[in-house]
Amino acid sequence: MINYELSDFGGRFLTTPSQSINGRRYPGISAYVEWFIPSEAKQISVTFVHGGGGQGSEFLRTPDNRPSWVHSFLRAGYPVYVLDRPGHGRSHWNAEVLGPALPPPSYEALVPRFVEPAKHLLWDEAGKHDQWPIEEPRAADRFMASQGPMATTLESSQRHVEAIAPELFQLVGDTVLIPHSAGGPCGWALSAIGGKQVKAVVAVEPLGAPGLDHPLGRFDNGLCVAAFAGSSNPYGPPIAMVTSEATWMRDMNLRATEYLESCGANVTLIDLPQLGIRGNGHMMMSERNNDRIADAIIDWLARTV
């Protein structure tokens, strides 16, 4: 149910100076941000940062056309900003500026991990996955339609988001960063730039743990592969680490939580099955009980920020 009023909504491109390459001029590194401002808004916003080759639309509606997390946070009074990272969603991939990209992913690559883990059993907990909205026969198709190319290295993804960070923080003000999956390292990089404007980080199954060898880069800088462009402590704000029951990310997220604790971070593990929220996979914002997960995050924010 959508039971709130908006005072404003819209979107615009964040841009960096244009670049001249081989005699032609192109827009610089750019990103698209969409926003929704409730009529009775809190002073602190939330900023969603999508993962992998995805886009911000996954936080708006589920593949079976139910409200996703944007609506939960609006009902709670938060101004909401939804980022399409450079080269994703409404910010198209220009290889001249952003560098090379991986090809768009196939059903064979993503469906066994995101849609049908219990069918393929690629990891121990996969059989517990039962929250994907299978009642909608086109849900998998809609999920796959949202997935596009991504950078060939995690360092490139980090540098892209660092480039648009100053303009992003001018727009969102004091904010809570909510990065997901491969957007996790981008979230830490944003936190290092945003400094005091970042009031909390809710890392939703973020990719990364110290020393992790990933096909797109080794995590040699804590929870990122490369040194931060920002000068603030990315782990300084209160942090929530959110992990679900049926994901392959659990061990990685637990290792990341231990690392944050070793850094002296104020970190809380939101372990969904311990809250009685069971059966979720990695794309939890798209699954049947996504509203319960959003409520758990909102409850943590109410206690913390």
Q: What are 142-191's pLDDT values in tens digits?
A: 999 999 999 999 999 999 999 999 999 999 999 999 999 999 999 999 99
Q: Cα 18 to the chain's mean position, in Å? A: 27
**CB-count burial class (<10 Å; 0-12, 13-18, 19+) for 102:** middle
Residue range 220-261, pLDDT digits in tens: 999 999 999 999 999 999 999 999 999 999 999 999 999 999
User: Rounded distance, CA 188 to CA 54, Å?
Assistant: 18
Evaluate whether residue 168 is within a structural domain: yes
* Domain CATH number, residue 230: 3.40.50.1820
Alpha helix ranges (H) inside 228-289: 250-262
Residue range 129-146, pLDDT digits in tens: 999 999 999 999 999 999
Please name every residue paired with 80 in a beta bridge, in sequence order, or none if there are none: 36, 46
Mean pLDDT within 193-204 = 98
Task: Give yes or no for residue 1 having a pLDDT over 80.
Answer: no
Evaluate whether residue 12 is within a structural domain: yes
Evaluate whether residue 1 is within a structural domain: no
Spatial CA neighbour of 33 closest among 12, 49, 17, 52: 12
Q: Cα 43 to the chain's mean position, in Å? A: 22
- What pLDDT score was predicted for residue 143? 97
- What pLDDT score was predicted for residue 3? 83
Alpha-carbon distances, residue 124 vs 48, 68, 131 (angstroms):
29, 28, 17
Q: Cα 3 to the chain's mean position, in Å? A: 25
Identity at 216, one-letter amino acid code = L
Task: Give yes or no for residue 126 having a pLDDT over 80.
Answer: yes
Query: Per the structure, how many domains does the chain have?
Result: 1
Enclosing domain of residue 161: 6-304
Alpha-carbon distances, residue 16 vs 28, 196, 231, 259 (angstroms):
5, 23, 20, 34
Return the residue matching tokens 């996955």: 129
Evaluate whether residue 213 is within a structural domain: yes
Residue range 3-58, pLDDT digits in tens: 899 999 999 999 999 999 999 999 999 999 999 999 999 999 999 999 999 999 99
Evaluate whether residue 48 is within a structural domain: yes
pTM exceeds 0.85, yes or no: yes
